[in-house]
Amino acid sequence: MPVAHHVLTHGAGPAARHEALRHGDRSRTYAELAADVAAGADHLRATGTRPGQLVALTLNDPVDTLVALLAADRAGAVGLVGDPAWGHHQRAEVLRTLSPDVVVPLPLPRGLGSPPDPGPPPDGDAPAWAGFSSGSTGRPRAVVRSRRSWTGSFGHVDRLTGIRPDDTVLVTGPLASSLHCFAAVHALARGARVHLVDGRAGTTAALADADVAHVVPSRLDDLLDALDAGVPSRLRTVVVGGAGTDRAQRVRAAAHRLHVIAYYGAVELSFVAVDTGRGLRPFPEVDVEVRPQHGTRLGEVWVRSPWTCTGYLAGARGPLRTEAGWATVGDLADPPAPGDDAALVLRGRGDGAVLTAGATVVPEDVESALRPVPGVRDVVVTGAPHRRLGAVVVGIVEADDRPGLRAHLDRVARASLAPAQRPRRWYRLDALPRTSSGKAARAALGAAVAGTDPEVHLGLEVLR
Question: CATH number for the domain including 28?
Answer: 3.40.50.980
The mean pLDDT value for 189-199 works out to: 95
The rounded mean pLDDT for the chain is 90
Is residue 260 domain-resident?
A: no
Same-domain pairing of 34 and 144: yes
DSSP reduced 3-state for 70? helix
Q: Which of 127, 150, 173 is a domain's end point? A: 150
Binning pLDDT at 50, 70 and 90, where does residue 351 land? low
Same-domain pairing of 434 and 445: yes
Query: Any idea what the CATH number is for the domain that residue 283 is in?
Result: 2.30.38.10
Q: Which of 126, 150, 174 is a domain's end point? A: 150
Helix (H) or strand (E) holding 66: helix 62-74
pLDDT winner (highest mean) among 374-388, 396-410, 445-459: 396-410
Binning pLDDT at 50, 70 and 90, where does residue 137 land? very low
Does residue 339 surpass a pLDDT of 80?
Answer: no
The mean pLDDT value for 206-219 works out to: 92
User: Which residues 6+ apart lie within 8 Å of 259 measured at CB?
Assistant: 162, 236, 237, 238
Same-domain pairing of 347 and 399: no
Residues in a beta bridge with 354 = 361
The mean pLDDT value for 4-31 works out to: 96
pLDDT of residue 136: 36
Strand pairing category for 270-275 and 141-146: unpaired
Is residue 116 domain-resident?
A: yes
Distance CA 98, CA 92 (A): 10
Same-domain pairing of 398 and 458: yes
Same-domain pairing of 31 and 144: yes
Query: Any idea what the CATH number is for the domain that residue 405 is in?
Result: 3.30.300.30
User: Which residues 6+ apart lie within 8 Å of 48 measured at CB?
Assistant: 102
| 313 secondary structure, DSSP code | G
Same-domain pairing of 26 and 146: yes
Task: Please state which of the ranges 56-60, 138-142, 173-177, 418-422 shows the lowest mean pLDDT.
Answer: 138-142
Same-domain pairing of 139 and 40: yes
The string of pLDDT tens digits covering residues 120-131 is 999 999 999 999
Is residue 237 domain-resident?
A: no
Q: Which of 288, 320, 351 is a domain's end point? A: 351
Distance CA 203, CA 206 (A): 5
Q: How far is CA 221 from the centre of its chain?
A: 16
Is residue 214 domain-resident?
A: no
Is residue 390 domain-resident?
A: yes
Which is more confident, 44 or 136?
44
Is residue 285 domain-resident?
A: yes
pLDDT of residue 391: 85
Q: Which long-range contacts (CB under 8 A, 24 or more apart) does 183-187 make?
A: 183/214, 183/239, 184/66, 185/1, 185/2, 185/3, 185/69, 185/150, 186/3, 186/154, 186/157, 187/163, 187/212
Binning pLDDT at 50, 70 and 90, where does residue 455 land? low
Same-domain pairing of 406 and 324: no
The mean pLDDT value for 314-337 works out to: 90
Is residue 244 domain-resident?
A: no
Q: What are phi and psi of 36, to 5 degrees?
A: -65, -40
- Structurally, the chain folds into a number of domains equal to 3
Is residue 402 domain-resident?
A: yes
Same-domain pairing of 365 and 345: no
pLDDT of residue 211: 98
Same-domain pairing of 327 and 456: no
Same-domain pairing of 392 and 343: no
Domain span at residue 289 reads 268-351
- CB distance 346 to 367 below 8 Å: no
| Residue among 86, 83, 103 at smallest CA distance from 95 | 103
Same-domain pairing of 9 and 137: yes
